[in-house]
Structure 1
Amino acid sequence: AEVCYNRVGCFNDAKPWAGTLERPITKLPWSPEQINTRFLLYTRSNQNSFQTISAATPSTISSSNFRNTRKTRFKLLGIEDVNCICVDWSGGSRTSYSQASNNIRVVGAEIAYFIDILSKNFAYSAANIHLIGHSLGAHTAGEAGKRAKGIARITGLDPAEPYFQNTPIEVRLDPSDAKLVDVIHTDAGPLIPTLGFGMSQYVGHLDFFPNGGIHMPGCPQNIQIPNVNVEDIWNGVVNFVTCNHMRAIKYYTDSIGNTAVFTSYPCSNWNTYQAVSVSVLIISILYDNPQS
């Protein structure tokens, strides 16, 4: 089956999008109207209240505080004078996990369309854009990067494992999606039995695994469940401890403008690192993606 939508194109449910071991449930993404993706602009001129801007109505961009002389990033207003655009796709995420994981295809296409309008109407280069996404948002950024070529950087914060781990690169975040793809893994234990919701697979040019990437300091241990349905986790039926999964956001924000907090060591794998005795407060193990 296939669905086509204005502005964002067509989407099918053929392999590798469905009918595979990694993606067993067949779902087509919802329409842009149903998802109702919103682009919320913050700048130094409006740090505490957003301006809603839309690529479908470019006049909302030209009348806003968006400036094509600034880089466009996420929540860096205190460090740099940037366009901060928050993407609200809650209309597409508040559903089953299998549906939400397919809705990101449309959301990513909407972001790419937005970037295209910035380029055509405002002479704005994708080389000034930094996309940052957590969990499913990391793969959403990857989808946008596949469609809008030349994006400077994508930061993936604990990219979601279910429906994405071990899938082809067209499905998930990948180093080819931007000039630099950096990833922080903080909940990389297996979904079964440890309820690790983040990927353990390397999906960036640089993949950081703070404290080994599985259990973060101060977080309770994930409960052990021998068999679990990802939909039950997403819908709150299973008591999923989000501390490790959410910690990637804190580590990223704490690292901005601070060069003294996180010490990283390049090595081939975790076991190699453990063979070296190093004592630091927080250890970030940096793996170079062999594909890059």
Structure 2
Amino acid sequence: MLMLWTIPLFLLGAARGKEVCYNNLGCFSDTEPWAGTATRPLKVLPWSPEKINTRFLLYTNENPNAFQLLQPSDPSTIEASNFQVARKTRFIIHGFIDKGEENWVLDMCKNMFKVEEVNCICVDWKRGSQTTYTQAANNVRVVGAQLAHMLDVLVTNYSYSPSKVHLIGHSLGAHVAGEAGSRTPGLGRITGLDPVEASFEGTPKEVRLDPSDADFVDVIHTDAAPLIPFLGFGTNQMMGHVDFFPNGGQNMPGCKKNALSQIVDLDGIWSGTRDFVACNHLRSYKYYLESILNPDGFAAYPCTSYKDFESDKCFPCPVQGCPQMGHYADQFAGRISEQPQKFFLNTGDAKNFARWRYRVSLTLSGRRVTGQVKVALFGSKGNTQQYDVFRGIMKPGATHSNEFDAKLDVGTIEKVKFLWNNHVVNPSFPKVGAAKITVEKGEGQTVYSFCSEDTVKEDTLLTLMPCDSPDTL
């Protein structure tokens, strides 16, 4: 009989759970879906606000180097600061074992100051993030509630509209932003920078970042391989209105292939367990950082998969255009669909990461030979290196095309240079040319056409001018 009593009491205790309540923030329990699930098996309550010690560090165009501490419990600190109601406010929220006074966080504010007048607030919750992962993941709830309380103070004291607020969260910080957004009706925008997978992927939307947390939610996935066995820290789950998967979202160029990178980054940005963080996971905020100064350098293409994108099946941009991954993604907000959308693009392997995608199609002329063809684009803003278009049997009259990601936007394309070779000694010195080359830029609807009647020997440049140019008549 004893077993019959102990089992129900045990189950009753499990269902009831524990709860903690804090002024202005509400109550937090360790019942489902916050704990006791397959994703969150451990029953862990978040720490108190005093223990986490979240700080709001304000930088503005007037004080770009030294922060002003804002305290929601003391609105006079806001009154005495450089916070300006007329400006947008962007909050930057760090993730696990990071802190609010890091180089990348301040660099993000400084890049913003180059392009806009803005209140840039760094949310520092390092005491709550530099602990065990399970505890930090639960502390997210209190930090998100504190951020929501901060927004409420701005609304109440300054009639500041939440629509002018943009939350940018990296890793666990993305879910902090989600928690704050779920508590703030009418929040303008949330950007999730590689939202962390463990304890969040597959959970109900109240636990994690999701599209209902703001009017516009954009997410950048850079470490989306499964945590087990690949040690991918980011989530593969769609969590925004638009989800970007640069380079496929799992293995970023320039990051070592071993599961745990030796870095952490030359900036020395992590304290504590430095080898915990993978290079891929950090790429998300590096791309965002650079996107601020490159309004058109991260065009992303709607596509069903990265394999299709790499197979040139998702070019050019559709009629409604392509969103820009990063800072300017919200310019696409009016074109989002009811269903979440996946977007793909490629980046460079180091600064500068921005790339501009082109498709080149060429029709061969001259002799039939085996070899390879390369082209370089020359435009009003500069010229590209040579890119491969075709390798194989080169037949006159045959048309071949390829897409490539250039390191710069060449502007208006003025001419194209064609080169072929096969590195085979041929005493007849065959000549090959391109009767016509068309070039299309991903985001634009313009197609450029270049023509030539000439053929050239191997390793000799052939310049093609616009088809209606006097030089080609």
Instruction: Give the TM-score normalised by structure 1.
Output: 0.90
1:139 is matched with which residue?
A: 175
Match for 1:64: what amino acid?
S
Please tell me whether the aligned partners of residues 184 and 208 of structure 1 are also in contact (alpha carbons under 8 angstroms). Answer: yes
Structure 1 residue 276: deviation in Å? 2.4
Bigger drift between 261-270 and 119-128 goes to 261-270
Please tell me whether the aligned partners of residues 145 and 177 of structure 1 are also in contact (alpha carbons under 8 angstroms). Answer: yes
Q: Would the alpha carbon gap of residues 126 and 278 (structure 1) be closer, same or farther in structure 2, given more than 3 Å must change?
A: closer
Q: Does 1:64 align with 2:81?
A: yes
1:263 is matched with which residue?
A: 299
Share of identical aligned residues, percent? 57
Structure 1 residue 273: deviation in Å? 2.5
2:43 is matched with which residue?
A: 26
Structure 1 residue 125: deviation in Å? 0.6
Please tell me whether the aligned partners of residues 163 and 186 of structure 2 are also in contact (alpha carbons under 8 angstroms). Answer: yes
1:157 is matched with which residue?
A: 193
Bigger CA radius of gyration: 2
Structure 1 residue 222: deviation in Å? 3.4
1:175 is matched with which residue?
A: 211
1:254 is matched with which residue?
A: 290
CA–CA distance in structure 2, aligned partners of residues 196 and 167 of structure 1: 18
Q: Would the alpha carbon gap of residues 241 and 220 (structure 1) be closer, same or farther in structure 2, given more than 3 Å must change?
A: farther
Q: Does 1:290 align with 2:339?
A: yes
CA deviations on 1:45-81 (whole Å, 9 max, x unpaired) are 1100000011110010001111111110152222111
- Classify the secondary structure of the residue corresponding to 2:297: coil
Q: 251, 257, 276: which one pairs with 1:215?
A: 251
CA–CA distance in structure 1, aligned partners of residues 249 and 308 of structure 2: 15
CA deviations on 1:221-261 (whole Å, 9 max, x unpaired) are 1328xxxxxxxxx9749x54521000000111111141332
CA deviations on 1:85-119 (whole Å, 9 max, x unpaired) are 10000010111100000001000000000000000
2:312 is matched with which residue?
A: 276
CA–CA distance in structure 2, aligned partners of residues 119 and 95 of structure 1: 33
Instruction: Give the TM-score normalised by structure 2.
Output: 0.56
Bigger drift between 191-200 and 66-75 goes to 66-75
Unaligned ranges ≥5, structure 1? 225-233
Q: Would the alpha carbon gap of residues 116 and 66 (structure 1) be closer, same or farther in structure 2, given more than 3 Å must change?
A: same
- Classify the secondary structure of the residue corresponding to 1:28: coil
2:66 is matched with which residue?
A: 49
Structure 1 residue 124: deviation in Å? 0.6
Match for 1:138: what amino acid?
A
- Classify the secondary structure of the residue corresponding to 1:44: coil
Q: How many residues align?
A: 279
- Higher relative strand content: 2
Unaligned ranges ≥5, structure 2? 1-17, 92-108, 261-270, 317-323, 330-335, 342-473
2:34 is matched with which residue?
A: 17
Please tell me whether the aligned partners of residues 189 and 214 of structure 2 are also in contact (alpha carbons under 8 angstroms). Answer: yes
- Classify the secondary structure of the residue corresponding to 1:170: coil
CA–CA distance in structure 2, aligned partners of residues 4 and 84 of structure 1: 30
Match for 2:226: what amino acid?
P
Q: Would the alpha carbon gap of residues 209 and 68 (structure 1) be closer, same or farther in structure 2, given more than 3 Å must change?
A: same
CA–CA distance in structure 1, aligned partners of residues 51 and 144 of structure 2: 15
Runs of 4+ in 1 over 4 A off after TM superposition: 277-280, 286-289
CA deviations on 1:6-47 (whole Å, 9 max, x unpaired) are 111100011110111111111000110110000000011110
- Measured on the aligned residues, the alpha-carbon RMSD in Å equals 2.4
1:117 is matched with which residue?
A: 153
Q: 224, 242, 245: which one pairs with 1:206?
A: 242
Match for 1:169: what amino acid?
K
Structure 1 residue 288: deviation in Å? 7.0
CA–CA distance in structure 2, aligned partners of residues 27 and 289 of structure 1: 35
